[in-house]
Every structure is written in C-alpha cells, then in structure tokens.
Amino acid sequence: MPKEYEFRPDSAHTDSLDKIFLSQRQRFSLLRWTLYALFFLLGLIVQDVVLYRVDYLGGGTDLVPCIIFMITALEGGETGSVFALLASLVYYFSGSAPGPYMIPAITFLAVFAAIFRQACLPRGFFSILLCTTLSMVLYELILFGMGVFLGNIPLSWLRPMMLTALLTQAALPVCYPIARVIGKIGGEVWKE
C-alpha cells in the first residue's frame, strides 16, 4: 500500500514568471535600463520625425548622439560603454546614422567622455554639459572629416556642422532631468 507522502506530482499550473528570480536591485536595474532604452528610442523618433526639419543658418540638431553621450556620462565608463555600443548599433541600423564608421566613433567618444567625467569632474549638470558638448563637437568633426574624405561634402560645411553641435546642446536642459530621474531608479550603484 503506497504512502501518501512518497510521491506527489507538481501542479499542472505553472507561471513562467515564477521561475524568474530577480532581487529587488536587479529589478530596479532592469527597469532603469528599459527606461533608458525607451528614452533613447523616443529621442530617435523625435529626431527623425520632427527635428530633422529644423534648420538654423545651415545647422540643425543631432539629438541621438547627444542622448547617447549624456547617458553614458551619467552612468560611467563601465556600464555606460555597453549602452553606448548597443545604442550606436541601433542608431546605425535604424537608417539614421550617416555611416557604419559612426558605431566605433560614438562608442569611443561616449566612453571617453564618461571616463573623463569620472576622473576629473564632479557629478552634476555642468560636468555632463561640458562632456556632452565636447563629445558632440568631436563627433561633428569626425563626421565632417569622413564626409570630406569620402567626397560627400565640401569643406564649406564645417561651420554648419559646428553650429549643429552647439544647437544640439539646447536640448540638453530638457533631456538631462529625464535621464537623471531614470538614473536614480534603484539608487546609486557606484560611488566616485
């Protein structure tokens, strides 16, 4: 005669989410990076739908690299580098990036800006503004250099491209508070 405690089959109802064991910190980190990705995608959509039409003295805005540089500078070199690489890949494959050479350029500039900010500057709006501005100027210079090298643009486009780098910084006071609020989800992961 079988004993009732020997074998009991598992219940037929199982939820796939029950098998995911995430700590509270991991859930907050997942939420933070999901919101960063949505913020980046929103910036990509706004740039492609609305801001590409804005033209002031030949210059416009380039919101997507600005958002990548800003988030990477906020998060630091270690975790921000992964975001910069993935975001630059999405930027290129969305069809908005000028060419495949921008993937390593954006990634390198973003990581350099994050490491520079961590090593030399305190965490705050003005340090992020400085790092993002320098990154945008270098990004536009790389873009200009590649365009001239490939024969796509004339040398006279340097002034409008530098104007684009500076006009893009007008979006930073709007984007920074959003990114900063997202970055505070789950608390500070590292201390400087």
Taking alpha carbons only, the member of 73, 77, 75, 72 closest to residue 88 is 72
Annotated domain spans of the chain: 27-183
pLDDT score at 94: 86
CB 28 within 8 A of CB 186: yes
Tell which CATH architecture fits domain 27-183: Orthogonal Bundle (1.10)
Query: Which pTM value belongs to this model?
Result: 0.81
Q: What is the 3-state secondary structure (H, E, C) of 24-40?
A: HHHHHHHHHHHHHHHHH
Give SS3 for 11. Answer: coil
Of the candidates 41, 48, 70, 32, the one whose C-alpha atom is nearest the C-alpha of residue 176 is 70
* Alpha-carbon distance values, 94 to 20, 67, 107, 161 (Å): 31, 16, 16, 22
The single residue listed with the structure tokens 């929103």 is: 42
Place of tokens 């989800």: 185
User: Which residue would you say has higher pLDDT here, 174 or 11?
Assistant: 174
Helix, strand or coil, per DSSP, at residue 56: strand
Q: Sorting pLDDT into bands at 50, 70 and 90, what band is 192?
A: very low
Average pLDDT, integer, range 125-136 = 88
The percent of residues above 70 in pLDDT, for the chain, comes to 85
pLDDT digits (tens, 9 = 90+) for 5-54: 666 666 666 556 556 677 777 788 888 889 999 999 999 998 888 777 77
**Which has more confidence, 141 or 56?**
141
CA-wise closest residue to 91 among 78, 107, 75: 107
Torsion on CA atoms 84, 89, 94, 100, rounded to nearest 10 = 110
- The Cα–Cα gap between 74 and 42 comes to 18
Query: What are the tens digits of pLDDT across the range 61-105?
Result: 788 898 999 999 988 888 888 999 999 999 989 887 788 888 899
